[in-house]
Amino acid sequence: DTGVSQNPRHKITKRGQNVTFRCDPISEHNRLYWYRQTLGQGPEFLTYFQNEAQLEKSRLLSDRFSAERPKGSFSTLEIQRTEQGDSAMYLCASSLETTNEKLFFGSGTQLSVL
Amino acid sequence: QQQVKQSPQSLIVQKGGISIINCAYENTAFDYFPWYQQFPGKGPALLIAIRPDVSEKKEGRFTISFNKSAKQFSLHIMDSQPGDSATYFCAASTAGGYQKVTFGIGTKLQVIP
């Protein structure tokens, strides 16, 4: 499978716990994005990486959220001290710089905070 | 502030009929308008997209109509099939640079036999 891979697919956690999600983009894609989708809504932009550099963070990404892409390949999104409002689908997408507009999304990680 | 407004939120169409979903945008800096299709448990997948220099784009049974002066665009699905049942999102972004895409709220389409 050469698509965008996200793990885990589902995560249930208790309020106050930390969680980490992983995204493996399509191998040659140098651009990587995180989006968040709540029930009945469209995805919302969270952050963007060009190779290993994080170039933009949405104001939706509070201080409890941190994302990394250490070697310009896979990326992780960590949420510290989770809150019930963090419950959502976290989507990763990637693209090639040369075919910029064509985003390829993974199947997402569904987070439930109890 | 909802920068891309989408309607209807749900749509039921009979097999063989035409499905029409409408969107309107506010930010005139947007110059790339994709439509995404999302099945349950999956991420959105790019379906078709248009730039504002053309008024219509057709790919198979899917057509985007674009009205730049009205800041509106729509998706038409001809000969709708049960396999088209999914949630459809209109979206907008700027073509240059990275894709900070603004999505609409989504339309849940059900095509009944």
Instruction: Enumerate residues 60 to 89 of chain A having a beta carbon within 8 A of any beta carbon in chain B.
Output: none
Identify the three-state secondary structure at position B82: helix
Residues of chain A contacting B46 with CB distance shorter than 8 Å: 102-104
Closest to B46 (Cβ–Cβ): which among A31, A33, A102?
A102
Whether B1 shows a pLDDT value over 70: the answer reads no
Residue among A31, A35, A41 minimizing CB distance to B98: A31
Interface contact A32, partner B, CB < 8 A: no
CA distance B89 to chain A (A): 7
Q: Which pLDDT score is estimated for A100?
A: 67
Among A101, A106, A107, whose Cβ lies nearest the Cβ of B32? A101
Q: What is the average pLDDT value for chain B, to the nearest integer?
A: 94
pLDDT single digits (tens) B63-112 = 999 999 999 999 999 999 999 999 999 999 987 777 889 999 999 999 99
Query: A101: helix, coil or strand?
Result: coil
Residue A65 is predicted with a pLDDT of 96
Which residues, at least 6 apart from B92, have a Cβ–Cβ distance to it below 8 Å?
Answer: B3, B4, B25, B27, B30, B32, B33, B101, B102
Per the CB < 8 Å rule, is A106 touching B43?
yes
Taking chain A (114 residues) in runs of 10, the rounded mean pLDDT of each run is 90 98 94 95 95 92 94 95 97 85 93 98
Residue of A nearest to B97 (CA): A100
- Measured on CA atoms in the order B61, B56, B51, B108, is the torsion positive or negative? negative
Residue B50's pLDDT is what?
A: 94
Could you say which of B99, B105, B106 has the minimum Cβ distance to residue A103? Answer: B99
Residue of chain A whose Cα is closest to the Cα of B44: A105
Q: Are A88 and A77 in contact (CB under 8 A)?
A: no
